[in-house]
A = this chain, B = another copy of it.
Amino acid sequence: METIPTELIITKQSWTTAGQQARLQLLENQQQITLPFLGNEQTYTDIPSLKGNIEHYIGMTQVPTGIIGEVCIEGTDANGNFFVPLATSEGALVASYHRGTVACKMAGAIRAVVVSEQVQRCPIFRFRTVVQVLAFVAWLTEEWEKCKEIVGKQSRFAKLQTPKFNIEGNQVIVTFEYTTGDAAGQNMVTVCTEAVCLYLVQQSPVEIIEWFIDGNLSGDKKVRGSAFIAPRGKYVTAEITLPRKIVIDFLRTTPEKMQTFWQTSALGAVKMGGIGMNAHFPNGLAALFLACGQDIACVSEACVGIARAEVTAEGDLYGAVTLPNLIVGTVGGGTHLPTQQECLKIMGCYGAGNSRKFAAICAAVLLAGEFSISAAMSGGYFSKAHKLYGRKK
């Protein structure tokens, strides 16, 4: 098996047991892991351990999962070549993303960087007057070290940052911003923030008329126009320059057409009142999140981002993607579930110390996917690809 290029193993016999086995063996060998649940050799029966992930259990929803790659990345967060699992029922999706990764690999490595990370919970406090709001804000600012202490007692991982205050008449929303280690962190920040709030409600020198644990400013599972200005989750950016020859010969379009397509898409986004600008981030992101035990409801916010395509002075094609709201974790949530765990292990991303790595891979995959679909659309063969791989209707 070793003598066949990995590219061929990946794509050969997409829909046969032999093909599946060859791919699984490749992945197991590469990472020195076993993948019994994906390989259907082992069946999940430990239902009691599902507590914390589901209630009123009736069984396992099963979603077809394929592999793309290798995605070549260089950077401090992720570095190396990665096979990446994608779970979806949409024909052509895996093939298209794979094609993008092949084009990128021909060109070298994708540079991917996690610029920052943070998770917010934003309680709202209501008072009689704005004058009382100001008094509360002044007091809370003084108490902030105490708030950090309270957080410290609730979690080893959550680290509370500087507060922000959003005052509107007699209401104030306080942004509690945290780093949360390698967990996605939404529950962690809820628990920590509530502990602080209970203290504040008890100690506040001005009477709090009413308060709620969230005033809907955190961006939790929300698309918002402030996504780039106030990042949430990992803020990641990835880039690569594709030589002109690759764009023409392999992607069957031109750098110029790619840029024009990008420009019309960017303006289309503006015309429909969109937030962010990209061709199809949700496709790759949902498939990656699903395979890897992420909270797929977070696709709603995480898929906001910017893609860019530019012809360089040399006539090559520069591409970049930026994701300001990438809520991901490699511990907690659904990451420990059987197939999810295996999928994370395929990339060496399971467990503590891997969330930034996983975030960098997400961005690299989306960059590859943008190249692929934009090439298909600007090259005029988008529909053909869907006829080839899509379901007969």
8 Å CB contacts to B: which residues of A286-327?
286-287, 290-291, 293, 295-301, 303-304, 306, 308, 310, 318, 320-322
B230 and A51 contact, CB distance less than 8 A: no
User: Once bound together, how far apart are the Cα atoms of A297 and B298, in whole Å?
Assistant: 11
A122 and B387 contact, CB distance less than 8 A: no
Interface residue A33 (Cβ < 8 Å from any Cβ of B)? no
Q: How near does chain B come to A369, taking the closest CB pair, in angstroms?
A: 11
Interface residue A282 (Cβ < 8 Å from any Cβ of B)? yes
Q: Of B87, B230, B306, B378, which one neighbours A168 at CB under 8 angstroms?
A: B306
Q: Which residue of B lies closest to A165 (CB)?
A: B115
Interface residue A140 (Cβ < 8 Å from any Cβ of B)? no
A191 and B130 contact, CB distance less than 8 A: no
Q: Using known A-B contacts A130-B320, A271-B229, determine if residue A91 contacts B60 with beta carbons closer than 8 Å.
A: no
Q: How near does chain B come to A86, taking the closest CB pair, in angstroms?
A: 8
Interface residue A20 (Cβ < 8 Å from any Cβ of B)? yes
Q: Secondary structure at chain A's binding surface: helix, strand, loop or mixed?
A: mixed
Q: How near does chain B come to A136, taking the closest CB pair, in angstroms?
A: 13
Q: Using known A-B contacts A61-B340, A237-B169, A266-B266, determine if residue A91 contacts B295 with beta carbons closer than 8 Å.
A: no
Interface centre among A194, A275, A300, A377 (most CB of B within 10 A): A300
A-B pairs with lowest CB-CB distance, top 8:
A225-B225, A225-B273, A89-B334, A169-B320, A216-B268, A38-B59, A52-B391, A54-B64
Q: How near does chain B come to A326, taking the closest CB pair, in angstroms?
A: 14
User: Once bound together, how far apart are the Cα atoms of A220 and B383, in whole Å?
Assistant: 15
B271 and A382 contact, CB distance less than 8 A: no
A43 and B40 contact, CB distance less than 8 A: yes
Q: Using known A-B contacts A225-B273, A320-B169, determine if residue A92 contacts B55 with beta carbons closer than 8 Å.
A: yes
18 contacts between A and B (CB under 8 A): A14-B54, A63-B337, A113-B130, A126-B260, A168-B308, A191-B386, A215-B268, A216-B267, A224-B272, A225-B226, A225-B272, A225-B275, A226-B229, A229-B272, A230-B230, A282-B299, A285-B297, A290-B296
Contacts of A273 in B (CB 8 A): 224-229, 273, 275
Contacts of A301 in B (CB 8 A): 282
Interface residue A250 (Cβ < 8 Å from any Cβ of B)? no
Can you tell how many copies of this chain the complex includes? Answer: 4
B338 and A62 contact, CB distance less than 8 A: yes
B237 and A130 contact, CB distance less than 8 A: yes
A267 and B271 contact, CB distance less than 8 A: no
Interface centre among A19, A48, A64 (most CB of B within 10 A): A64
Contacts of A130 in B (CB 8 A): 111, 113, 237-239, 320
8 Å CB contacts to B: which residues of A214-250?
214-217, 219-230, 235, 237-239
Interface centre among A24, A63, A230, A332 (most CB of B within 10 A): A63
A52 and B392 contact, CB distance less than 8 A: yes
Interface residue A98 (Cβ < 8 Å from any Cβ of B)? yes
Interface residue A389 (Cβ < 8 Å from any Cβ of B)? yes
